[in-house]
């Protein structure tokens, strides 16, 4: 899957502004942010889209979901945040590697 842009980021072959990484997931800043905070949170494993998730990926999906509120706080969004998963061509998915958009703005202190 060396042609997958997000697999190449996981492999360190392409630069990315990584804000979090563990054994199974990685989070980095979207190259074209729509709002002040715009992260992409992805599994390191290549899964083409949400429609390609298998039963064996259940634990990984839970890890992804549970990372979101922690990343939001790390980014200063204690008051709330938005998440979005585009799936398939009709769903607006441009990169065929499952990713969650985590967006918002830091809360005013
Ligand atoms: P999609 O439309 O597939 O849900 O979103 C893909 C997102 O990936 C877009 O917001 C786009 O800006 C972002 N993106 C595409 N290529 C790269 C890249 O090479 N690096 C980073 N950091 N973001 C990318
Ligand atoms: Zn990939």
Atom of ligand 1 nearest to the CA of 16: 22
Percent of the chain whose predicted confidence (pLDDT) is above 70 = 97
Question: Structure tokens of 16?
Answer: 């990315």
Residues near ligand 1 (Cβ within 6 A): 5, 14, 16, 28-32, 40, 86, 92-95
Q: What is the pLDDT of residues 61-88, one digit of tens each?
A: 999 999 999 999 999 999 999 999 999 9
Q: In the 8-state DSSP scheme, what is residue 69? A: H
- Mutation test residue for ligand 1: of 8, 16, 40, the one with most atoms within 8 Å of CB: 40
Q: Do 85 and 47 form a contact (C-beta atoms < 8 A)?
A: no
Q: What is the pLDDT of residue 108?
A: 77
Asked whether the beta carbons of 37 and 102 are under 8 A apart, the reply is yes
Give the residue numbers annotated as catalytic, written as ranges.
99
For the residues 47-52, what does the mean pLDDT come to? Answer: 98
């Amino acid at each position: 899957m060396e042609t997958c842009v997000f697999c190449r980021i996981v492999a360190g072959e392409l630069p990315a502004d990584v804000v979090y990484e563990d054994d199974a997931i990685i989070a980095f800043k979207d190259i074209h942010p729509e709002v002040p905070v715009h992260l992409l949170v992805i599994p390191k494993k290549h899964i083409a889209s949400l429609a390609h998730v298998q039963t064996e990926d259940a634990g990984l999906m839970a890890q992804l979901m549970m990372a979101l509120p922690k990343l939001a706080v790390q980014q200063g969004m204690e008051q709330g945040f938005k998440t979005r998963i585009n799936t398939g061509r009709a769903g607006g998915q441009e990169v065929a590697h499952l990713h969650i958009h985590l967006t918002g703005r830091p809360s005013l202190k």
